[in-house]
Structure 1
Amino acid sequence: MRALTVVPRRADTATLTDLPDPTPGDGELLVEGVTLGICGTDKEIIQGGYGWAPSGSERLVLGHESLGRVRHAPPGSDFAAGDLVVGVVRRPDPVPCGACARGEFDMCRSGRYTERGIKERDGYGSELWTVETEYAVRLDPSLEHVGVLMEPTSVVAKAWEQVDKVGARSWYDPKTVLVTGAGPIGLLAALLGAQRGLDVHVLDRVTDGPKPEAVTTLGATYHSGPVTEVAEKIQPDVVIEATGVGQVVLDVINGTAAYGIVCLTGVSSGGRTIPVDAGATNRDLVLENDVVIGSVNANLRHYTAAAHALATADRDWFDRLITRRVPLSRFGDALTPRRDDIKVVLTLD
């Protein structure tokens, strides 16, 4: 079978590799890959900045945004040949830590978790892959065209769950959410905000193309002006920050309504400094009971929530989100950004 592999921490090593077909172990599904999402993490690994190969291997099979069709399921499992499935990314610390022992492996305290296609476990970027039944999530067959969005949707489902948990410390009745960044994570966060009946605002730099259209089709409001002006105007109760841009992060922290909650989902790059009035920021956080939280990855219940969000959304909207489908044989094209790209996926079948 063909697989997209890379030597972690070495740039320009991504290639299609012929590997033996996998043999499922006890309690594992054998799955035919259908689609693979490409995200910033994959690009960072390909550029040599990140990633760990499995023990004893030089190369890592890439891909954590999966979608496949079951070829073989173990007897007595809840799966059958032909089922559409997504594989969960993270596996708990084998020791395990307290969080992992309770199924909260997305909140691992020790850092000894592993991740498919990222950290010490081969990913889903191959024509065939295996996955443990307890880490496979079945999708409705009608989601075949969009099911590859399951993993990023699980990430924002967790982010919204975290916002709700923080909000519940007191009376909580949010009306307005600002999402910064109209990439896949930002747009999916906006989708879940719209499904909650909130007044959704999305801010991004571009002024035309598919992003503004995707936002307005949700019934949300698109902005491209300075984040300080937008935040001052709408006074968001919740901010989902999906850019990772340092100045944007600081501006939204200082721009919420009282009892505001800022959830950071974008990962910032280091090495840049910006001036910060730490005293003013601290004053606002304390006097307004504001909260800033970080959120990454997802556990099984977030995948379930993501499946529900996808199943209840307008299917036509996802055609605006997935802007290109590229065959695995031309994976290099998928890695080369185009002006109107939002989400690019590889087709594996």
Structure 2
Amino acid sequence: MRALTVQPGAAGKGSSVPVSVEELPDPTPGDGELLVRGLGIGICGTDREIIGGHYGWAPPGSSRLVLGHESFGRVLGAPDGSGFAEGDLVAGVVRRPDPVPCGACARGEFDMCRNGKYTERGIKELDGYGSELWTVETEYAVRVDPRLESVGNLMEPTSVVAKAWDQVDRIGARSWFEPRRVLITGAGPIGLLAALLGQQRGLDTHVVDLVKDGPKPEVVKSLGAEYHSDPIGDVVGKLQPDVVIEATGIGEVVFDAIAATAPYGIVCLTGVSAGGHKLTIDAGATNRSMVLENDVVIGSVNANHRHYAAAASALAAADLDWLNRLVSRRVPLERFTEALTAEADDIKVVLTL
């Protein structure tokens, strides 16, 4: 079978081909595993960071890692009594709990691992789903509604968003909590899917991004949300949202969002910032506002089984035409370099297998 592989950390260290399509042996499913025909993998910033040598770890004993954590495929074989059958559409969960395990992993909350010894398909010490065939343990496979065949690769990013909303709900429950307005910063896949879940919750949903044209403003409007391209400080100051889902990782945006939420507002950070960028902020004013208004800022990454189930439900309830608009390009495996090169109007690029 063909697979997209990378040598983590090789970029810039004399390797001429850190990423390539390789021929690998077909996998043999073990006890309790599904054999899956890969249909596609979504491409995201994490994949580009791994290829760039900034992140990622190959499996023990190997120098190369099969890429792909935004999985989607069709079951070719399933164990008896597993609840899965040939022809089912599935996505594979990314993270696996650490073998120790820590207290969180032992309770199924492996997205909150305390000791960092978790592994991740296509990212950290486990081969990913970027191959024509792959296997997955039945307990880490999630069934996808058949009507979502064209957009099944949205499962993983939607699970990340579902976790973010889950964290917001849990923190909001510390007191009376009936949010009315949510502001999403960033109109990439995470931001747009966060807006989808905001709309599904009946919230007054707003999205802010820098672009003034291209597909993103119209995608937001067609969802029934309001799009903004003014500076984030102006937007958040005018709206005073109860909830902010931050999906850019841009330091200035993060602190502007924190500064002007409604009383006991919740800011959930999902974007990962690059290091080395310094800001000048009024730390005293930020502290004063957060304390006197009972504000909360939280970070959220990855997802567990509960969040994948919530993602499957959210996508099944969404308008399929709208979801299809999020997939801006589909690129075949042999032209992987095109998929890995970002274009101006990209939302979600899928590498077809």
TM range (shorter): over 0.9
Distance 1:335 1:140 in 2: 28
1:325 aligns with 330
Give the equivalent residue in structure 2 for 1:313.
318
Counterpart of 1:130 in 2: which secondary structure? strand
SS at the partner of 2:285?
Answer: helix
Consecutive aligned runs of 4 or more in structure 1 exceeding 3 Å deviation? none
Corresponding residue to 1:115 among 103, 120, 130: 120
Within 5 Å, give how 1:117-156 maps onto structure 2.
117-156=122-161
SS state at 2:72 partner? strand
Residue identity over aligned pairs, in percent, reads 75
In structure 1, distance between residues paired with 2:105 and 2:113 = 6
One-letter amino acid matched to 1:327: P
Q: Which residue of 2 aligns with 1:3?
A: 3
Could you tell me how far 1:137 is from its partner in structure 2? 0.5
Report the TM-score, using the length of structure 1 for normalisation: 0.99
Structure 2 counterpart of 1:83, one-letter code: D
- Is 2:49 the counterpart of 1:59? no
- Deviation, 1:74, is 1.2
Alignment of 1:209-248 (within 5 A): 209-248=214-253
**CA distance in 1 between partners of 2:146 and 2:49 (Å):** 32
Number of residue pairs matched by the alignment: 348
Q: Structure 2 CA distance, aligned partners of 1:57 and 1:100?
A: 26
> What residue is the counterpart of 2:266 in the other structure?
261
- The answer to whether residue 277 in structure 2 is matched with residue 272 in structure 1 is yes
Q: How far apart, in 1, do the equivalents of 2:296 and 2:344 lie?
A: 35
Residue 335 of structure 1: aligned partner = 340
SS at match of 2:192: helix
Q: State how far apart, in whole Å, the 2-side matches of 1:7 and 1:336 are.
A: 18
Query: Which residue identity does 1:16 align to in structure 2?
Result: V
Structure 2 match to 1:344: 349
The residue type equivalent to 1:320 in the other structure is R
Does residue 1:71 correspond to 2:73, yes or no?
Answer: no
Give the secondary structure class of the aligned counterpart of 1:344.
Answer: strand
* Aligned residue in 1 for 2:14: none
Rounded Cα–Cα distance in structure 2 between residues aligned with 1:193 and 1:114: 30
String of CA shifts for 1:3-47, please: whole Å, max 9, x gaps: 000000112511001100000111101100001100000010011
Q: Which structure 1 segments of 5+ residues have no match?
A: none
Gaps of 5+ in 2: 12-16
Deviations 1:75-107 (A, max 9, x none): 221111111000000000111000000000000
Find the residue that maps to 2:74 and give its secondary structure. Answer: strand
Query: In 2, distance between residues paired with 1:61 and 1:49?
Result: 16
Given candidates 43, 55, 59, the residue that maps to 2:48 is 43
> Which residue is 1:13 aligned to?
18
SS of the residue 2:36 aligns to:
strand
* Equivalent runs, 1:118-197 vs 2, <5 Å: 118-197=123-202
Q: Provide the alpha-carbon RMSD of the alignment.
A: 0.6
Q: Distance in 2 between matches of 1:112 and 1:178?
A: 34
Q: Please say if 1:301 is aligned against 2:306.
A: yes
